[in-house]
Structure 1
Amino acid sequence: MSELRKREEIEEKFKWNINKIYSNIETWEKDFESLKSQAMKLNEYSGKLTNGEKILEYLKFNEEISRKAENLFIYAHLKYDEDTSNTTYQALMSKIDIYMAEFASYTAFFVPEILSLEDKFIEAEINRVSELKNYKFLIEDILKEKPHILSKEMEELLAAASDCLDAPSAIHSILTNADMTFGKLEDEEGNEVELTEGNYSSFIKSKNINVRKAAFERLFGEYDKLKNTLATSLTASIKTFNFSSKVRKYSSALEASLKPNNIPLDVYRNAIKVINDNLNSLHRYVEIKKKLLGLDEIHMYDLYVPVIEIEKEKIEFNTGVDTVLEALKPLGTEYLDIFKSGIKDGWIDIYENKGKRGGAYSWGGYDTMPYVLLNYNNDLQDVSTLAHEMGHSIHSYYSRKEQPYHYSSYTLFCAEVASTTNESLLIHYLIENEKDEKKKLYLINQELEQIRTTVFRQLMFAEFELYTHETLEQGIPLTADEYNKAWHDLNVKYFGSEMIIDKEIDVEWARIPHFYSDFYVYQYATGYAAASAFSKSILECKEDSVEKYKGFLKAGGSDYPISILKNAGVDMMSNAPIEATIKRFNELLDMIGK
């Protein structure tokens, strides 16, 4: 449609069923008032967690109150996302957001009080009070962090300073998103268009080499002008994390990031080693891409150009659903039935409308549906997004169905595995069943690019992070020139001798906001690798592969992520998952290189 429809113009059957949470605002307001009066009673347990019975009583009461707060919070946010211009839901969301900070203060005493108790006493109480055994993992997870918890006064001081300590990230965000401008350049039709961070991705994919080269040089030229400021900002962010790690008595910043989830440091280091041992695959990709694009020389600004263009195919939502269901058949009838019921029962808000939040996500609570927000626009990427977000939602469905409330949420390390497994099964199905050679080539390139950007690129990022944190931990200063050199050398190593590493790319590190979330990006690569291992096992019909995968989906947060994955047959301590991904990358290169 040429003009976006208003929310009320969208048919109800295309909207998610949020009324299942609250039928109207009046019911929400009534529950909100009830929450406010009940939540204050949580404070009454402060200083009284002296035996197993009292700890159990608190945990049960906290769950009851938290579940109510969760429903209120989710409803307000989902209603706001339907139409961000709706002032009624702006107010509702603001009201619950402000209150949730107050709510958090009522439970802040719990962890310090548990940590003040003797480990042997806690262990004895868990054994004595049988119902407390259900919380054993939760309590032991708190106790394991005891060596890294500071005194009450120091914890309060760090909490009070947290906003100031987040300044480098805030500065980077405002500088790169608000203050930096990139001027105008000509698009493929010769029109003068302002270059922004938002539209850069479309320029860099242009078939016209002059357009993508100009965009590349203009964007990174502006970053280069501010490289000293951006280097100072990044150094301050890393020093802040290193300081926090040291204060909390971790041996390194890497340990501070991984140890809370019991992820061995070898998982991080080994992922980088395995990718380094297999960089010849990425070098081969560069050579094939150069040949397919018909280039005499390949530059960094040629990386994102599709090797083949196909005419955009219109895929209606129901057709998209049918395609995904066909692709997910290897997961079995039970999984497909849950998927179908999600479509039928109103999990999904399908189409764009005026004021609706952009993008896509899966979200919900223990007592709600695992809702999915889409902005479905009838193309292949939207079908992939549907598979991805329903992967998250069915993961949440299983976790909440099989686990008690306190173990129903899964960690970030596991979060992208289920969604990416669905995407992996979908792209396998599409490639295997495509008869048109041109379309098949397009799909193969799509999967190659996904592996390049999610595994190779993110582990290059991870290698850069490790270098920067360890260098600063040793007291060696890092300036813009050092950052530039490290980034340049990594690009040379990763892309090989065929790629011309243009000087502009040296400052790309300054553009990556994820570097302000320490040791975060490697999880994209490990998540993709775990998903590849699952999909490979499922497609090869290995014994119990589907049941093991469903075991992973059902585990929630009942154990540490490495253990959950290992129990499901994916050992992230071994090379196998990343090697399986690289093997798939090589298979695709064989297909596209013919």
Structure 2
Amino acid sequence: MDNKKQLKRSEVAEQFKWAISDLFQTDEEWKEEYELTKKLISKVSNYQGRLWESADILLEFYKLEDEIAGHFERVYVYANQRYHEDTSNSTYQDFSNQASILEVMLNSAFSFAVPEILTIPEETIQQYLASNKELQSYQFSIKEILRHKPHVLSAEMEELLADTGAMSEAPSIIFNMFHNADIKFPAIEDENGEKVTITHGRYGTFMESADRRVRKDAFEGIHSAYMKFKNTLAATYSANVKNEAFLAKARKYPSSLAMALDDSNIPAEVYTNLINAVHENLPLMHRYVSLRKKALGLEELHMYDLYTPIVKDADIEVNFEEAKDIVYKGMAPLGDNYRTILKEGYDNGWIDIYENEGKRSGAYSWGAYGTHPYVLLNYQGSLKNVFTLAHEMGHAIHSYYSDKALPIRYAGYKIFVAEVASTCNESLLMEYLLSNTKNKKERAYLINYFLEQFKSTLFRQTMFAEFEMITHQMYLDGESLTAESLCKVYHDLNVKYFGNDIVIDPEIDIEWARIPHFYKPFYVYQYATGYSAAIALSRKILKEGEPAVEDYINKFLSGGSSDYPIELLKKAGVDMSKKEPVNDALALFGKLLDEMEELLG
């Protein structure tokens, strides 16, 4: 297929589309399932006020919840995947909207359950579990509800907190409205001398430009736009920090960080160990910055020079059939069973391969319990796209194993571990490519690709995590979060993380103001911990072979959310409550850096 020419969805050959009919053969079937799901949701109210009555009633309720979840997943995934095939298709726009309405109905219907279960004495719940073997399969769910009991308030207070929901969301809503709709960026001249307005999407492309003038103009242009509103954005960020502190105090947590980590039962030392381990290894990042300066031949390296490639792509073009073969060979350390599933995905309609008019951009893995996973790609034939295939199939096969091993309630996995399997695949693929590349330029390109992943995922996301930790603590310590104080914190962090061989341009001080993830506090650290865990697992697999693979597949990939994320990783041989996984990942970064310095002379 000529994927250079963008086709209409109807023009794409079936062999290049995912087998969406494995969810529903027709739209009529989807509509029937939608109505069935609505009907089942209407039955939930029959259990309100009755969950305490007996073990049998509680079991009936949980079974109904699982049944509804199965139907709803199929309805929701089909509607949105159809919509993503062509976002201009009004039929599936409507399906997607209907699915969202159904989700609201579902959440509303079940909202009484947790508070009601918490009114049941724990001794009674333990008696129910002891007396009903079938109910024991829900023990972990019940344990999670009880674990949060100290942070659940009286019915009146919970109602009051619920009523503050719209106010709590206000800082995020205001920021997103400003960030996505209201802020206007200047136009700059591109490489061809044509006037082009900076957008969020174009900014990344400008920063990778080989033309330094374009990079500088884009960098100054986007940050000058935010700087004009620095006081408004500081007030918005401060309001979000205050809101989180209020909720944490109301729910009897010592801090908003503690509240965020408690959601997945993550020990506090996971967060602090990540930051401390990265601090100890910052000389490696400083060396990489120095190497970048030397490779680009610059007297002064600036912040706008951090993303332009220092090794061009070595003219590596890979068609999709070749990409499948490369990824298949790269996954050899995971064994025959894993690669059989990978091939099943290749051959049986898991993947929607090429771009078409209106198709959702980017890539993802998704699916509904009881049906194979799906992967959306927009494959363009670059080496980066080969890594994307490995990454998304890592997600898909993680879901495949969990779905096969577990009931629907525990099959999904937490955000803390969501990127582990996908990144582990990328690491194994990188090892395969490096082992089979004799061309010096290709090797340099591959190593630099890997180094950039470390820079953007482990170092940069940890810097973001540290900014959040510092600024939230500042508020608890009674310090004002002004534009000046926030810019100073961010400036100092850039100095610390990037070292002396780069000019920390004043424009970078306002970058905190354009990071959407800061409005979902203490989220970004998980990118860095997940990356570290993935690197540790891939090294373990390469070193130990079959025993490590068995632990990885049987105890982690098949674990879903049947245990806490930290415990699942421990079972696979990686303890994220210690510094070692981060240190080991950064030791690999150092080893790659050694070779890169040698390759570039």
Q: Give yes or no for TM over 0.5.
A: yes
Alignment match of 2:385 (pick from 358, 382, 386):
382
Q: State the distance in 2 between where 1:495 and 1:212 align.
A: 18
Q: State the distance in 1 between where 2:203 and 2:592 align.
A: 28
Could you tell me which residue of structure 2 aligns to residue 257 of structure 1? 260
Could you tell me which residue of structure 1 aligns to residue 472 of structure 2? 469
* Mapped pair 1:352 → 2:355: yes
Could you tell me which residue of structure 1 aligns to residue 108 of structure 2? 105
**Two-structure CA RMSD over aligned residues (Å):** 1.3
Q: State the distance in 1 between where 2:189 and 2:30 align.
A: 52
Alignment match of 1:153 (pick from 151, 156, 175):
156
| 3-state SS in 2 of match to 1:544 | helix
Alignment match of 1:177 (pick from 175, 180, 190):
180
Alignment match of 1:70 (pick from 66, 70, 73):
73
- What does 1:483-494 align with in structure 2 at a 5 Å threshold? 483-494=486-497
Q: State the distance in 2 between where 1:457 and 1:469 align.
A: 19
* Mapped pair 1:8 → 2:7: no
Letter in 1 for 2:134: E
Question: How many Å apart are 1:27 and its aligned residue?
Answer: 1.4
Q: State the distance in 2 between where 1:205 and 1:419 align.
A: 25
* Mapped pair 1:507 → 2:503: no
- What does 1:31-430 align with in structure 2 at a 5 Å threshold? 31-50=33-52, 51-430=54-433
Question: How many Å apart are 1:3 and its aligned residue?
Answer: 4.3
Q: State the distance in 2 between where 1:192 and 1:85 align.
A: 29
Could you tell me which residue of structure 1 aligns to residue 572 of structure 2? 568
1:516-573 Cα deviation digits (max 9, x unpaired): 1100000000000000001111112356110111120001000000011001100001
Q: 5+ residue gaps in structure 2?
A: none
1:202-234 Cα deviation digits (max 9, x unpaired): 211222222211211121112111111111111
* Mapped pair 1:442 → 2:460: no
Q: State the distance in 2 between where 1:340 and 1:160 align.
A: 50
Q: State the distance in 2 between where 1:407 and 1:583 align.
A: 35
Q: State the distance in 1 between where 2:405 and 2:414 align.
A: 16
CA contact (8 A) 2:314 2:442 kept: no
Question: How many Å apart are 1:179 and its aligned residue?
Answer: 1.8
Q: State the distance in 2 between where 1:468 and 1:567 align.
A: 35
Could you tell me which residue of structure 1 aligns to residue 32 of structure 2? 30
Q: State the distance in 2 between where 1:523 and 1:563 align.
A: 15
Q: State the distance in 2 between where 1:57 and 1:197 align.
A: 49
Q: State the distance in 1 between where 2:537 and 2:225 align.
A: 43
Q: State the distance in 2 between where 1:182 and 1:29 align.
A: 44
More divergent stretch after superposition (134-143 vs 97-106): 97-106
Could you tell me which residue of structure 1 aligns to residue 559 of structure 2? 555
| 3-state SS in 1 of match to 2:419 | helix
More divergent stretch after superposition (119-128 vs 322-331): 119-128
| 3-state SS in 2 of match to 1:372 | strand
| 3-state SS in 2 of match to 1:330 | helix
Q: State the distance in 1 between where 2:205 and 2:223 align.
A: 16
Q: State the distance in 1 between where 2:10 and 2:115 align.
A: 49
Q: State the distance in 2 between where 1:488 and 1:38 align.
A: 54
Question: How many Å apart are 1:242 and its aligned residue?
Answer: 1.0
1:454-487 Cα deviation digits (max 9, x unpaired): 0011111111100011111222211000001101
1:343-369 Cα deviation digits (max 9, x unpaired): 111111111111111111111121222
Question: How many Å apart are 1:178 and its aligned residue?
Answer: 1.9
Could you tell me which residue of structure 2 aligns to residue 21 of structure 1? 23
Question: How many Å apart are 1:574 and its aligned residue?
Answer: 1.3
1:428-466 Cα deviation digits (max 9, x unpaired): 222221111111111111100100110011111111100
| 3-state SS in 1 of match to 2:422 | helix
CA contact (8 A) 2:186 2:197 kept: yes
Q: State the distance in 1 between where 2:223 and 2:558 align.
A: 45
Letter in 1 for 2:374: Y
Q: State the distance in 1 between where 2:465 and 2:374 align.
A: 32
How many residues matched? 594
| 3-state SS in 2 of match to 1:238 | helix
CA contact (8 A) 2:4 2:380 kept: no
| 3-state SS in 2 of match to 1:520 | coil
Question: How many Å apart are 1:58 and its aligned residue?
Answer: 1.0
Question: How many Å apart are 1:586 and its aligned residue?
Answer: 0.5
Letter in 1 for 2:581: P
1:495-517 Cα deviation digits (max 9, x unpaired): 11112111111111111111111
Q: Residues 221 and 46 (structure 1 numbering): CA distance in 2 closer, same or farther, change over 3 Å?
A: same
- What does 1:568-587 align with in structure 2 at a 5 Å threshold? 568-587=572-591
Q: Residues 481 and 37 (structure 1 numbering): CA distance in 2 closer, same or farther, change over 3 Å?
A: same
Question: How many Å apart are 1:401 and its aligned residue?
Answer: 0.4
Q: State the distance in 1 between where 2:300 and 2:382 align.
A: 33
| 3-state SS in 2 of match to 1:365 | coil
Letter in 1 for 2:579: N
1:117-171 Cα deviation digits (max 9, x unpaired): 1112111211111111111111010001011112223323333332332121122
Alignment match of 1:452 (pick from 452, 455, 462):
455
| 3-state SS in 2 of match to 1:297 | coil
Q: State the distance in 2 between where 1:310 and 1:101 align.
A: 46
Q: State the distance in 1 between where 2:199 and 2:65 align.
A: 46
Q: State the distance in 2 between where 1:159 and 1:12 align.
A: 48
- Percent of aligned positions that are identical: 48
| 3-state SS in 2 of match to 1:356 | coil
1:372-412 Cα deviation digits (max 9, x unpaired): 11111111111111111110010000001001111111100
Q: State the distance in 2 between where 1:312 and 1:170 align.
A: 43
More divergent stretch after superposition (95-104 vs 573-582): 95-104
1:17-36 Cα deviation digits (max 9, x unpaired): 11111111111222222222
Question: How many Å apart are 1:2 and its aligned residue?
Answer: 5.9
TM-score, structure 2 normalization: 0.97
More divergent stretch after superposition (399-408 vs 518-527): 399-408
Letter in 2 for 1:42: V
CA contact (8 A) 2:414 2:565 kept: yes
| 3-state SS in 1 of match to 2:310 | coil
